[in-house]
Structure 1
Amino acid sequence: MKKSELIELLATKAEVSKAAAARMLETLTQTVMTSVKKGESFTIAGFGTFKQAQRAARKGRNPATGEAIKIGAMKTARFTPAAAFKAVVDPRAAAKKAAKKAEAAPAKKAVKAAAKAPAKKAAAKKK
Structure 2
Amino acid sequence: MSKKDLIDAVAKECELTKEKAGSVVDAALAHIKAVLKDGGEVRIPDFGSFKVASRKAREGRNPATGATIKIPASRVPKFSPAKGLKDALN
TM-score by length of 1: 0.69
Amino acid at match of 1:32: I
CA RMSD in angstroms, aligned pairs only: 0.7
1:10 Cα deviation from its structure 2 partner: 0.6
- How far residue 88 of structure 1 moved from its aligned partner, in angstroms, is 1.5
After superposition, give the CA deviation of every residue in 1:38-88 in whole Å (9 maximum; x if it has no partner): 000011111110111100111100011001111111011111110111112
Please state which structure has a larger fraction of its residues in helix: 1
Q: Does 1:82 align with 2:51?
A: no
Equivalents in 1 of 2:28, 2:52: separation in Å? Answer: 17
Aligned residue-pair number: 90
Structure 2: 5+ residue runs without aligned partners? none
Q: Could you say which residue in structure 2 is the equivalent of 1:102? A: none
CA distance in 2, matches of 1:74, 1:5: 31
Task: Find the aligned partners of 1:63 and 1:76 in 2 and give their Cα distance.
Answer: 23
Larger radius of gyration: 1
**Are 2:31 and 1:31 equivalent residues in the alignment?**
yes
Q: In structure 2, what residue type is equivalent to 1:31?
A: H
Structure 1 runs, 4 residues or longer, greater than 3 Å off: none
Q: Which runs of 5+ in 1 are unaligned?
A: 92-127
Q: Which has the higher contact order (CA 8 A, sep 6+)?
A: 2
Deviation at 1:3, TM superposition (A): 1.0
CA distance in 2, matches of 1:58, 1:87: 37
Instruction: Name whichever structure is richer in strand by fraction.
Output: 2
Once the two structures are aligned, what percentage of the paired residues are identical? 38
